[in-house]
Amino acid sequence: MVKVLTYEDGLAAVYGGAILGGGGGGLLGEGLKLVEEIFAAGNPQLIDITALNHEDLVACVAMVGAPSAEEQYVSNKQLCWSYQQMNAYMDHRLKGIITNENGAITTINGWLQSVLLNVPVVDAPCNGRAHPTGIMGSLSLHEQLDYQSVQFYAGGKKNYAIQGFAEGNLQNTAKTVRHASILAGGLVAVTRNPVTIGYLKEHGAPKAISAAIELGYSFLKGRTIEEKLKNIIHLLKGKHIVSGKVKDFSLLKENGFDVGSLTVEDVKLTFWNEYMTLSKAGMIQSRFPDLMMTFDIERMVPVPSASIKEGMHIAVIQVDQSHLYLSSTMKNAELLQEIDMIISKVL
């Protein structure tokens, strides 16, 4: 089943994605700007995973680098080039595009390519919530000992322009693309790691894009912040934890990540881009991949950790992981153990 998406769907996807970003996944304003560009070009298509065959192939599209870099540039031609080259490499067997996670920007990754190349976006991202590390969005491919990663990348303009291809170990190809983004001036468009629909069903998050759109509509329907929160808490089976002013906000930049903490009343949140722990009276009540999210009460919008300010009036909600669409990587104890090492610095 293929659905032609509307502009209103796009707005809902950004707001719902921002909530499921759990503190990460990009900035709301950037996502809304991208929606304008996408729907000025046309209407993307969203296809249910059940409409595809078990052995059909899809590939993940993403932007890699630092979008805030002054020289960053990716053209629509470069965006399409990486997918077209991957499709040619795979003997034109790709049946669609997937994104790596839900977030204000990441939920709509691939929508522009869908319009420009007439290719459907598959409703099964690598993860149904945002996550801090690339490996968490790798569909557990790092556990496949003989898996060879394939990645096509393109970006930059004039003397910074670069395009290429990397194949090999998952970690090494990711590092190669990351280095290419630096050479390109800060950003490259990537199409990577084709997998079968059968594998994606087992390790990805089917229906998570539709869930983000539904969540966004539910949030936007509310007229007050109380109504908006009530709507999404009901849909997500979540809880309103606390509302109040942010105090003791701290943020460290570490290896390209935001690491820090904040307090509202007697509730403390820690974050590693996304919110990692929620403590009350010194006791941890919730831990990633549970969803913890903050909302700017005055502006009535979801606000990620990167946009929090001391003294901001926010609301905090929490959703148990059992109510989320999650990748198999979210059950990987080794990946989750890394969180403790990072967060121990700010707990």
Spatial distance between the Cα atoms of 148 and 140, rounded to a whole number of angstroms? 13
Across 321-340, average pLDDT = 93
With contact defined as beta carbons under 8 Å apart, do 178 and 188 qualify?
Answer: no
| Identity of the residue numbered 108 | I
Spatial distance between the Cα atoms of 147 and 59, rounded to a whole number of angstroms? 15
Across 70-92, average pLDDT = 94
CA 84-153-22 angle, 5° bins? 105
Quote the pLDDT of residue 256: 65
pLDDT surpassing 70 at residue 69: no
HSE, side-chain direction, 13 A CA sphere, residue 65: 26
pLDDT surpassing 60 at residue 108: yes
Spatial distance between the Cα atoms of 171 and 28, rounded to a whole number of angstroms? 30
Neighbours of 20 (CB within 10 A): 32
Average pLDDT score, the chain: 94
pLDDT surpassing 80 at residue 288: yes
Quote the pLDDT of residue 171: 85
pLDDT surpassing 90 at residue 72: no
- Residue range 19-66, pLDDT digits in tens: 999 999 889 999 999 999 999 999 999 999 999 999 999 999 998 876
* Sequence-distant (≥ 6) Cβ neighbours of residue 101 within 8 angstroms: 21, 25, 107, 125, 126, 127, 128, 129, 130, 131, 137
Nearest residue to 123 via CA among 97, 105, 154, 144 = 97
Across 84-102, average pLDDT = 97
Domains of the chain: 2-203 (3.40.1610.10), 236-343 (2.40.390.10)
* Coil, helix or strand at residue 140: coil
Across 9-16, average pLDDT = 98
pLDDT band (50, 70, 90) for residue 214: very high
Quote the pLDDT of residue 68: 54
pTM: 0.94
- Residue range 129-183, pLDDT digits in tens: 999 888 898 999 989 888 899 999 999 999 999 999 999 998 899 889 989 998 9
Comparing 152-161, 179-188, 209-218, which segment has the lowest mean pLDDT? 179-188
Quote the pLDDT of residue 26: 87
Nearest residue to 119 via CA among 74, 78, 83 = 83
With contact defined as beta carbons under 8 Å apart, do 98 and 185 qualify?
Answer: no
Quote the pLDDT of residue 54: 97
pLDDT surpassing 60 at residue 87: yes
